Amino acid sequence: MSKVDPVVESKDWSAWEDHQPPGPVSFHVKGTVVVIATNYRATLEKTVPQGTNPKILLLDLVVEETGDVGGDAITDIPAVYSEAKYTAGTYEEVTILRKGNGGAHIPRVDIVH
């Protein structure tokens, strides 16, 4: 018997380069994952290997139980990814993958000054 996927949907994805002083430039991705219970966490991990276009960052969305006792309630949880040491302009787009499939696409990386 297969386990039910806890993810209902993901939404509100954004990606940005942070150029604010004092630096250095950093890179961030965030979104919201809607799950079926309160005892889940979401992380974003760099996909290995990356795709053929180095300007498109591929990230795997990993959702797992926390081990806590959770209640059955639709719950929004954050998913974030950051690179503290980042070369400006490295990524132009981000694709979020879920279990090897396309889950979300961020077509533009914003710049924050």
Percent of the chain with pLDDT over 90: 81
pTM assigned to the model:
0.91
- Residue range 38-60, pLDDT digits in tens: 999 999 999 999 999 999 999 99
Does residue 1 fall inside a structural domain? Answer: no
Residue 16, pLDDT score: 98
User: Is 24 contained in some domain?
Assistant: yes
Examine residue 26 and state whether it is found in any structural domain, yes or no: yes
Q: Is residue 74 part of a domain?
A: yes
Inside any domain, residue 2:
no
Q: Is residue 65 a part of any domain in this protein?
A: yes
Task: State which H helix or E strand residue 96 sits in.
Answer: strand 93-98
Find the domain containing 64 and state its range.
7-112
Quick one: tokens of 17? Answer: 């380069």
Cis status of the peptide bond prior to 24, with omega within 30 of 0: yes
Mean pLDDT of 86-94: 97
Output the DSSP codes for 64-76.
EE-SS---S--EE
Does residue 29 register a pLDDT over 80? yes
- Domain assignment present for residue 90? The answer is yes
Q: What single string gives the DSSP state of each residue in 20-77?
A: -TT---EEEEEEEEEESSSSEEEEEEE-SS--S-TTEEEEEEEEEE-SS---S--EEE
* Average per-residue pLDDT for the chain: 92
pLDDT (0 to 100) of residue 1: 43
Structural domain tally of the chain?
A: 1
